[in-house]
């Protein structure tokens, strides 16, 4: 189309997507201001401490990147599910299962193998761990119509309790809650490349995350399977008409969703501590839901949203000495509500409800 | 009191004022002009039929009258009082009520609760269930609309649910009742019952406006007919002074050859290959309630032939088409494409075997509304547009450009989402996709539903061309005119079975109408 | 579009104005380099446990008041935040950084090596052993604050046997682990010391950390023990113990609390509590830093240091006869003097 049409589309995009998000973030910031003042602190000081503790120094930035990495995996996991019309609440346990599988594999490998050589093995193990949990919910839905929200919530309980038991009863090192160190496959920290990051947990899994984002984008928007998956998510009736095996897409989407969350476990197990620790991922799976919604189920949007929530999470730690942790949790919730209500998809639904019954159909 | 063509103002000397008088109504939705100077005069105590093709603007005009839309221009009077641009609440207070095509009932409530919903009889703040049931029973007795007030709406048949809708409207004090295509979902006995009720209501002084595009209904029950075409009123006649042929001419307009006249009877061009392209044997399909929606139907469609299926909606046509397309499980019988049994094969396998399918509901099945035109143009053939798992974007775009041009889809922007298109252009996407590919058998279900007259003509031309190229076409349409205009043979579906299969020459509206209402054996 | 832009402007302006609001009494985020600064990191979800996280808080508050030091607290959001929180404090130049809970063990060792000029302390620090079973000392700037829970448990065991009168006493543990087995061992030894033919019924709520958060299971175990003729139960089971108290109330029998004084959980039914002096240990570590006498190593808090004790005050005096109290004081003195050796494994 002509250049002016391109400009129009860009302008519409600005109006539809960018400005509302800016408004949403500003509203969240204002709510934060009021909360901080009511608590008796200065918003300027708190936000300054928050920025200094995150983007203000290399260590803080490294920590943000570490958290962003995990959230990218869980956010992507939820986003892939949502693209297929499925609400995967189970990223929490899928992430843990992936990490556990990798941690156990690490204790079984012979020591001293090159990390790059065994990395594919770890990816497969983590994907199987998370994919088994997600895939189970998918099969329950495809075969028996069990709603995935219910099954993934229940699987969270079951899987987390099971992993806890396995760790404590069979795999843990005495007097700890973690497994033995992996004998091969530990990945270097980011500080090996960029020394100022010293001490921060950011590690090479960050690049794995970006690679997975690229693959996910290609899969969703360029592959035939992605074409069918999105059609199922938007209009299952039309997808069925188009020759798509809808239940088949359901379980495959849940399998992939779980596998992506599972691979996220490598960030802790291979990149940070080099062992699986019970409860290492507490909350990252649930935060992944917010990341997916704020990132509008787009892989690139997910990375940006993960960066936002990673910053808030690390920033919360940095300002914890000034304001209680709950205040940062509230702020995070306000961001989620504000941004989610401002996304065009949601508003389109509202608008079409208002306009229902237009010209005779 | 018959006014010519609805342009004269309502000034009948001494005569009682008209129940309804609409003058010069304009109503636009964005670029779509649904009404352009439409007029309507309805006398008190008559059944007034408002006829026209799909998209002629009938429903819009009635929504203006019932206060759902304020007109862009024009005047409205009810019982002599100017009511231009009133609200639905005002309309209800003045006794104007509309019974919608799609029921708006709460399935988990009882009949009585639904009827009184919004106007509950309360005793000390609590719903007086007994009082409500009594009131509804009395109303039913008076009007002949008998439905047990204590039953749950979810248990009712479609005909009963419609009676509840009418009761609901009457309960709110309606004396001018608008019915929008009330027979579309009814079985023939239910239609008869409805006519009985409406006639009774008319005889007790109520005024009824009946929206329809079925001429037999008009002739059967109405006193006066107003005909609309392309948003405007084109005629108003007393029913006894007119004929279906005249009404059809008014509805369609002289320029567009759509009517099922003998002159438009199809010419057979290619009938060389005699083997059936689509062969259906004793097909039985169960519906959700485990009854047989399709009950042992057998037929064959040959290359170069259009087999039309007529019938009142809800007699198994939807289930038949979905079963043939592979979207619905078959309980017994077989479907053969070019002699190959595909009964247990997937949608995709049937597509690859040469089956195309224009589904009856483009918004639910035919399109992914949030996909672009280009992406919608490959739905069902995505595997043909892919290489090594990836969708071939260049190929998809090239296909879209070609189809958009060939089928004149507007806007001509492959990236525009299907949702943004008008109904006619949406349907063109479906037609382009299903007829612009290699196929030998086409299932065309309601191919022109809700599209404008120009698009109807275009789609009909496409179907005729396809026949000329030797395609086998199964046409299912609620529009008898359409069936008669296109088909070589016509089958009538009634109660899940074929009541008759007639050559085009023997199929007249009267004959088909008789079969459609279940009165078989009354052939011409 | 214009409306939205105006809205952005208005919101931005309001936000900027609020940024400069500075309520009276607002803390400055910058730390005072001349003061003694201490950072305490709780476990994930630790604050509000009415047990050792809260006790550490109390110790920190007391140090701030009595010693004039500055204490800051962080409660991490998830497991990976533990190290980050310690690191934030170390990087800010705190003199002493304390991690509350054995789970900090690895992180503290690592940071103590990276920040040799900062002092560290770990509550319940888990000391590693070499292949010969000898403890490996922590780095010189890291104090392992350990408690001899078995000593306090010994005393409450003796008390239970003397007050119970039924030759049967009960024990409910949380997660079956070496730490809780230490409680059981001391308790059993105390019971048998004063009543060699008494029977100790010892049960655990489970083998996973969830066994510390299961009041239902606690109540079930306690009820069956009371039914069996037990009159006093000692619990070492976190919030699982709330169920034990509920059972004591229901059957009108007695229970013994753990970690903190749990009298208020079931007034009249709490015989005593075996209190772990986390607050004292934390205060002690801070005081050493302020006095310049801080040294790394293993600090073991027992009866002698008041690191563990049992509650005897106006609330429960009525339940403990004077003769019994006198006997307990004697036992305490004997343990401190080394005349009684308390085992650490059952």
ipTM for this prediction: 0.85
Distances in Å between the alpha carbon of B234 and those of A357, B51, B56, C113, C254?
25, 10, 11, 94, 96
Helix locations, B144-223, DSSP H: 158-171, 188-203, 215-221
Residues of chain C contacting residue A315, judged by C-beta atoms under 8 Å apart: none
pLDDT class for A148, splitting at 50, 70, 90?
very high
Question: Using CA atoms, how far apart are residues B506 and B512, in angstroms rounded to an integer?
Answer: 9
Mark yes or no for CB contact C80/A201 under 8 Å: yes
Classify residue B339 as exposed, middle or buried by CB count within 10 Å of its CB (0-12, 13-18, 19+). Answer: exposed
Q: Which chains does chain A touch, 3 or more C-beta pairs < 8 A? A: B, C
Same domain, B422 and B477: no
CB contact under 8 A, C15 and A29: yes
Q: Does A213 touch chain C (CB under 8 A)?
A: no
**Tally of CA atoms within 13 A in the half-sphere of B376 that contains its CB:** 35
In order of A44, A288, C73, the CA distances from C119 in angstroms are: 32, 37, 16
CB contact under 8 A, C27 and A41: yes
Q: What is the pLDDT of residue B265?
A: 38
Banded pLDDT at B5 (limits 50, 70, 90): very low
Which superfamily does CATH assign the domain made up of C37-128+135-147+280-301 to? Response regulator (3.40.50.2300)
> How do residues B131-174 score in pLDDT, each as one tens digit?
888 888 888 887 777 788 888 887 777 777 888 888 888 888 88
Q: What are phi and psi of C144, to 5 degrees?
A: -90, 115
Q: Rounded to a whole number, what is the largest CA-CA distance in chain A?
A: 73
By CA distance, what is B452's nearest residue in A? A361
Q: Are C277 and C146 in contact (CB under 8 A)?
A: no
The DSSP code sequence of C92-147 is HT-SEEEEESGGGHHHHHHHHHH-TTSEEEEET----B-TTSPBPPPPTTEEEEEE
Per-residue DSSP letters for B380-428? T-TTTTEETTEE-HHHHHHHHHHHHHHHT-SS--TTSBGGGS-HHHHHH
Clarify whether residues B399 and B450 are in a common domain: no
Interval A166-188 mean pLDDT: 87
Omega before residue B411 within 30° of 0, cis? yes
Contacts of A119 (CB under 8 A, 6+ apart): A185, A187, A270
Count of residues making up chain A: 361
Q: Distance (Å, rounded) from C-alpha A268 to C-alpha A284?
A: 12
Are B446 and B500 in the same domain? yes
Q: Which chains touch C (3 or more CB pairs under 8 A)?
A: A
Domain of residue B469 covers 259-354+441-524
CA dihedral (A354, A359, B3, B5) positive or negative: positive
C-alpha pair distances (Å), A264 with each of A80, A288, A289, B68, B191:
14, 11, 14, 53, 63
Q: Where a domain ends, among B375, B402, B437?
A: B437
Q: Do chains A and B touch (3 or more CB pairs under 8 A)?
A: yes
A235/B60 touch (CB, cutoff 8 Å), yes or no: no
Tell the burial category of C218 from Cβ atoms under 10 Å away from its Cβ (0-12, 13-18, 19+): buried
Q: What is the DSSP string of C234-260?
A: EEE-GGGHHHHHHHHHHHT-EEEEEES
More confident residue, B219 or C97: C97
Name the band, by pLDDT with cuts 50, 70 and 90, for residue B2: very low
CA angle B335, B339, B342 (to 5 degrees): 35
For the domain C150-276+312-336, what is the CATH superfamily, name and number?
Response regulator (3.40.50.2300)
Whether residue B184 is contained in a domain is answered as: no
CB–CB contacts below 8 A, A to B: 89
Q: What is the pLDDT of residues B390-431, one digit of tens each?
A: 999 999 999 999 999 988 888 889 999 998 888 888 999 999
Task: Return the beta strands (E) in C207-329 as ranges.
Answer: 232-236, 254-259, 270-276, 297-301, 308-310
Give residue-wise pLDDT tens across range A232-279. 999 999 999 999 999 999 999 999 999 999 999 999 999 999 999 988
Given pLDDT bands bounded at 50, 70 and 90, which one contains residue B185?
Answer: low
The A residues from 134 to 173 touching C (CB cutoff 8 Å) are 161, 164-165, 168-169
- Cα-to-chain-centroid distance, residue B382: 31
d(CA B465, CA B462): 5
CA gap B57, B230 in Å, rounded: 7
Q: Which residues pair with C21 in a beta bridge?
A: none
Contact C210 A164 (CB under 8 A): yes
Mean pLDDT across the stretch C17-31?
Answer: 75
Whole-angstrom CA distances from B49 to A310, B174, B208, B221, B238 are: 66, 18, 8, 8, 10
| pLDDT value of residue B441 | 96
* CATH code, domain carrying B340: 3.40.50.300
Backbone angles phi, psi at A107, to 5 degrees: -80, -15
Q: Which residues contact A240 (CB under 8 A, 6 or more apart)?
A: A246, B327, B347, B365
> Which of B32, B375, B390 is nearest residue A223 as measured by Cβ atoms?
B390
B412 and B275 assigned to the same domain = no
Residue in A closest to C21 by C-alpha = A42
| Domain assignment of residue B453, yes or no | yes
Residue with more model confidence, B147 or C312 = C312
Per-residue pLDDT tens digits for A269-315: 999 999 999 888 888 999 999 999 888 899 999 999 999 999 988 98
- The beta-carbon neighbor of A19 closest among C8, C80, C103 is C8
What whole-number distance in Å separates Cα of residue A264 and Cα of residue A131? 12
Chain B hits for A228, CB-CB cut-off 8 Å, are 382
Mean pLDDT across chain B: 83
User: Per the CB < 8 Å rule, is A228 touching B389?
Assistant: no
B411 with B450, same domain: the answer is no
- Average confidence (pLDDT) over A185-213: 93
Residue B519: band (very low, low, confident or very high) from pLDDT cuts 50, 70, 90: low
- pLDDT at residue A17 in the model: 67
Q: Which residue has the higher pLDDT, B3 or C326?
A: C326
Query: Residue A1: closest CA among chain B residues belongs to which residue?
Result: B413
- The three-class DSSP label of residue C181 is helix
**Statement to judge: residues B286 and B400 lie in one domain:** no
B20-29 sheet: strands from edge to edge: B32-42, B20-29, B73-78, B81-82
CA–CA dist C127, C179 (Å, integer): 12
Same domain for B350 and B272, yes or no, is yes
Asked whether residue B372 falls in the same domain as residue B401, the answer is yes
Domain with CATH 3.40.50.2300 in chain C: 37-128+135-147+280-301, 150-276+312-336
Provide the pLDDT for residue B121: 65
C 152-191: CB under 8 A from A = 175, 178-179
Is 90 exceeded by the pLDDT of residue A41?
A: no
What ranges in chain A are assigned the alpha helix state H? 3-13, 19-39, 43-52, 58-83, 91-108, 115-144, 148-166, 205-222, 224-234, 236-241, 246-263, 266-269, 284-294, 299-318, 325-342, 344-354
Q: How far apart are CA C47 and CA C120, in angstroms?
A: 20
pLDDT at A125 over 70: yes
Contacts of residue A339, defined as CB under 8 A and 6 or more positions apart, other chains included, come to A21, A24, A25, A28, A293, A294
Domain final residue, candidates B421, B437, B453: B437
What pLDDT score was predicted for residue B122? Answer: 64
pLDDT above 90 for A356:
no
Question: Does B503 reside within a domain?
Answer: yes
Strands of the sheet containing B176-180, edge to edge, are: B96-99, B176-180, B207-212, B47-51, B224-229, B232-238
Angle CA A175–A181–A184, to nearest 5: 170
- Count of domains observed in chain B: 2
State which H helix or E strand residue B77 sits in: strand B73-78
Sign of CA dihedral A214, A217, A220, A221: negative
Q: 3-state DSSP call for residue A50?
A: helix
CA distances from A168 to A128, A177, A182, A269, C171 (A): 22, 7, 17, 17, 22
Residues in C touching A174 (Cβ below 8 Å): 178
Tell me whether A92 touches chain C (CB under 8 Å). no
Rounded CA separation B103/B120 (Å): 20
Contact state of A40 with C7 under an 8 Å Cβ cutoff: no
pLDDT of residue C137: 84
Element (H, E) at B276: none
Distance CA B486, CA B267 (A): 10
- Mutate which: A40, A43, A197, vs C, most C CBs within 10 A: A43
Looking at per-residue confidence, does C54 or C335 come out higher? C335
- The percent helix, strand, coil of chain C (3-state, each to 5) is 45, 20, 35
Nearest to C288 by CA among C129, C69, C114, C83: C69
- Given B437, B454, B487, the domain boundary residue is B437
CA geometry: angle B352, B355, B356, nearest 5 deg: 110
Residue C22 with chain A: CB contacts under 8 Å: 42, 44-45
Q: Is the dihedral of CA A209, A210, A211, A213 positive or negative?
A: positive
Q: Work out the minimum CA distance from A325 to partner chain B, whole angstroms.
A: 41
Model confidence, pTM: 0.75
* Rounded distance between C-alpha atoms, residue B424 and residue B427, angstroms: 5
According to the model, what pLDDT value does residue B188 have? 64
Q: Please give the Cα distance from B129 to B116 (Å, whole number).
A: 10
**Is residue B258 over pLDDT 60?**
no
pLDDT tens-place string over residues B193-206: 888 888 988 988 89
Judged by CB atoms closer than 8 Å, whether chains meet at B379 and A231 is answered as yes
Q: Are residues B399 and B494 in the same domain?
A: no
pLDDT at position A10: 73
Cα of B30 vs its chain's centroid, Å: 24
- Does the structure show a pLDDT above 70 at C29? no
Nearest to B407 by CA among B388, B434, B386: B434
Q: Which of C5, C11, C23 sits opposite A37 (nearest CB)?
A: C23
Does the beta carbon of C340 lie under 8 angstroms from any beta carbon of chain A?
no
Locate the chain C residue with the closest alpha carbon to A166.
Answer: C208
User: Domain check: are B465 and B340 in the same one?
Assistant: yes
Taking the Cβ of residue C15 and every Cβ of chain A, the question of whether any pair is shorter than 8 Å is answered with yes
Cα dihedral: A140, A144, A146, A148 (round 10)? 40
Task: Inspect the interface and report whether the beta carbons of B365 and A1 lie closer than 8 Å.
Answer: no
Give the number of other Cβ atoms within 10 Å of residue C124's Cβ. 22
Q: Are residues B465 and B487 in the same domain?
A: yes
Question: Considering CB atoms only, which of A222, A243, A359 is closest to B390?
Answer: A222
Half-sphere exposure of C70 (CA within 13 A, CB side): 18
Length of chain B: 524
Separation in Å, CA of B299 to nearest CA in chain A:
23
B282 and B430 assigned to the same domain? no
User: Residue B507 — very low, low, confident or very high, per pLDDT cuts 50/70/90?
Assistant: confident
Average pLDDT estimate for C101-121:
91
Shortest distance, CA B152 to any CA of chain A (angstroms)? 27
B166 in Cβ contact with B86 (< 8 Å): no
The SS3 assignment for B120 reads coil
- What pLDDT is stored for residue A1 in this prediction? 45
Please give the helix or strand (H or E) that residue B482 lies within, else none.
helix B480-486
Whether B98 maps to a domain, the answer reads no
């Amino acid at each position: 189309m002509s250049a002016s049409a391109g400009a129009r589309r860009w302008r519409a995009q600005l109006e539809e997507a960018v400005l509302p998000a800016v408004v949403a973030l500003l509203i969240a910031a204002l709510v934060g201001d009021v909360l901080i003042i009511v608590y008796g602190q200065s918003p300027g000081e708190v936000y300054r401490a928050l920025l200094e503790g995150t983007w203000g120094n290399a260590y803080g930035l490294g920590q943000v990147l570490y958290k962003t990495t995990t959230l990218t995996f869980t956010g992507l996991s939820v986003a892939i599910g949502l693209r297929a019309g499925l609400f995967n609440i189970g990223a929490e346990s899928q992430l843990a299962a992936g990490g556990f599988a990798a941690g156990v594999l690490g204790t079984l490998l012979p020591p001293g193998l090159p990390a790059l050589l065994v990395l594919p093995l770890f990816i497969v193990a983590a994907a199987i761990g998370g994919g088994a949990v997600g895939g189970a919910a998918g099969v329950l839905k495809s075969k028996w119509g069990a709603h995935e929200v219910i099954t993934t919530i229940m699987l969270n309980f079951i899987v987390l309790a099971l992993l806890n038991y396995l760790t404590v009863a069979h795999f843990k090192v005495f007097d700890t809650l973690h497994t033995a160190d992996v004998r091969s496959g530990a990945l270097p920290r980011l500080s090996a490349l960029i020394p100022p990051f010293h001490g921060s947990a950011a590690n090479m899994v960050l690049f794995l995350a970006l690679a997975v984002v690229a693959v996910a984008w290609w899969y969703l928007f360029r592959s035939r399977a992605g074409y069918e998956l999105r059609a199922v998510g938007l209009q299952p009736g039309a997808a069925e008409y188009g020759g798509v095996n809808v239940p088949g897409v359901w379980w495959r989407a849940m399998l992939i969703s779980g596998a992506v969350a599972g691979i996220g476990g490598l960030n802790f197990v291979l990149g940070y501590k080099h062992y699986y620790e019970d409860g290492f991922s507490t909350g990252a799976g649930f935060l992944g839901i917010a990341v997916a919604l704020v990132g509008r189920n787009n892989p690139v949007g997910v990375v940006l949203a993960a960066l936002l929530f990673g910053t808030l999470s690390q920033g919360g730690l940095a300002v914890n000495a000034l304001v209680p942790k709950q205040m940062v949790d509230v702020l995070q919730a306000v961001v989620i509500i504000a941004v989610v209500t401002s996304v065009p998809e949601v508003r389109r639904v509202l608008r079409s409800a208002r306009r229902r019954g237009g010209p005779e159909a | 009191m018959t006014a010519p063509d609805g342009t004269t103002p309502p000034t009948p000397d001494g005569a009682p004022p008209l129940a309804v008088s609409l003058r010069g109504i304009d109503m636009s939705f964005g670029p779509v002009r649904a009404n352009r100077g439409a007029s309507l005069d309805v006398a008190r105590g008559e059944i007034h039929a408002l006829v026209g093709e799909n998209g002629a603007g009938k429903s819009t005009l009635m929504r203006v009258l019932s206060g759902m839309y304020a007109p862009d221009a024009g005047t409205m009077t009810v019982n002599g009082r100017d009511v231009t641009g009133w609200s639905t609440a005002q309309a209800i207070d003045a006794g104007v009520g509309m019974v919608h095509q799609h029921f708006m009932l709460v399935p988990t409530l009882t009949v009585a609760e639904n009827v009184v919903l919004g106007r509950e009889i309360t005793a000390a703040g609590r719903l007086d269930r007994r009082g409500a049931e009594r009131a509804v029973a009395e109303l039913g007795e008076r009007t002949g609309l008998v439905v047990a007030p204590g039953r749950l709406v979810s248990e009712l048949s479609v005909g009963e649910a419609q009676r509840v809708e009418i009761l609901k409207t009457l309960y709110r004090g309606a004396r001018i009742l608008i019915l929008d295509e009330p027979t579309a979902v009814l079985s023939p006995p239910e239609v008869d019952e409805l006519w009985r009720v409406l006639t009774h209501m008319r005889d007790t002084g109520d005024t009824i406006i009946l929206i329809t595009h079925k001429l037999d209904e008009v002739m059967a029950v109405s006193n006066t007919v107003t005909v609309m075409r392309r948003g405007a009123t084109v005629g108003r006649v007393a029913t006894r002074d007119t004929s279906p042929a005249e009404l059809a001419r008014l509805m369609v307009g002289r320029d567009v050859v759509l009517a099922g006249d003998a002159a438009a009877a199809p010419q057979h061009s290619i009938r060389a290959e005699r083997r059936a392209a689509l062969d259906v044997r004793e097909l039985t399909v169960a519906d959700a309630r485990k009854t047989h929606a399709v009950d042992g139907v057998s037929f064959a469609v040959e290359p170069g032939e259009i087999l039309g299926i007529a019938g009142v909606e809800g007699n198994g046509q939807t289930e038949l088409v979905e079963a043939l397309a592979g979207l619905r499980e078959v309980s017994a019988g077989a479907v053969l494409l070019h002699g190959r049994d595909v009964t247990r094969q997937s949608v995709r396998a049937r597509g690859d075997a040469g089956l195309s399918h224009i589904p009856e509901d483009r918004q639910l099945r035919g399109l992914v509304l949030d996909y672009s035109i280009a992406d919608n143009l490959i739905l069902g053939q995505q595997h043909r547009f892919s290489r090594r798992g990836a969708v071939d974007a260049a190929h998809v775009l090239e296909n879209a450009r070609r189809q958009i041009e060939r089928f004149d889809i507007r806007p001509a922007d492959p990236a525009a989402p299907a949702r943004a298109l008008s109904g006619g252009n949406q349907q063109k996407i479906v037609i382009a996709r299903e007829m612009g590919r290699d196929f030998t058998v086409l299932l065309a279900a309601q191919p022109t539903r809700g599209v404008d007259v120009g698009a109807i003509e275009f789609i009909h031309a496409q179907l005729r061309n396809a026949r000329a190229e030797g395609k086998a076409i199964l046409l299912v349409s609620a529009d008898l005119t359409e069936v008669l205009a296109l088909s070589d043979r016509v089958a009538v579906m009634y109660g899940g079975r074929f009541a008759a299969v007639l050559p085009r020459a023997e199929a007249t509206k009267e004959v088909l109408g008789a079969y459609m209402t279940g009165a078989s054996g009354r052939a011409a | 579009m214009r409306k939205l832009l105006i809205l952005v402007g208005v919101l931005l302006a309001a936000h900027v104005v609020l940024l400069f609001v500075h309520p009276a009494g607002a803390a400055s985020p910058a730390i005072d380099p001349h003061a003694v600064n201490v950072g305490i990191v709780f476990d994930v979800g630790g604050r509000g446990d009415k047990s050792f996280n809260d006790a550490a808080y109390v110790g920190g508050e007391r140090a701030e008041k009595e010693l004039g030091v500055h204490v800051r607290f962080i409660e991490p959001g998830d497991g990976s935040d533990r190290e980050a929180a310690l690191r934030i404090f170390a990087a800010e130049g705190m003199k002493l950084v304390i991690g509350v809970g054995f789970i900090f063990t690895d992180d503290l060792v690592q940071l103590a090596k990276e920040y040799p000029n900062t002092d560290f302390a770990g509550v319940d620090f888990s000391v590693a052993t070499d292949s010969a079973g000898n403890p490996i000392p922590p780095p010189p700037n890291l104090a392992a604050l350990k408690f001899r829970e078995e000593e306090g448990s010994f005393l409450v065991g003796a008390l239970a046997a003397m007050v119970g009168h039924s030759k049967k006493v009960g024990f409910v543990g949380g997660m079956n682990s070496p730490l809780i087995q230490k409680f059981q061992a001391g308790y059993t030894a105390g019971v048998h010391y004063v009543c060699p033919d008494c029977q100790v019924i010892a049960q655990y709520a489970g083998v996973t950390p969830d066994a510390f958060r299961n009041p239902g299971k606690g109540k079930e175990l306690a009820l069956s023990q009371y039914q069996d003729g037990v009159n006093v139960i000692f619990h070492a089971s976190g919030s699982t113990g709330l169920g034990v108290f509920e059972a004591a109330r229901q059957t009108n029998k007695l229970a013994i609390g753990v970690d903190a004084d749990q009298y208020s959980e079931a007034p009249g039914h709490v015989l005593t509590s075996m209190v772990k002096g986390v607050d004292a240990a934390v205060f002690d570590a801070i005081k050493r830093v302020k006095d310049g006498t801080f040294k790394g190593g293993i600090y073991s808090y027992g009866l002698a240091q008041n690191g563990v004790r049992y509650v005897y005050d106006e609330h429960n005096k009525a339940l403990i006869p004077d003769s019994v109290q006198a006997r307990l004081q004697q036992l305490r003195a004997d343990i401190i003097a080394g005349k009684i050796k308390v085992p650490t494994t059952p």
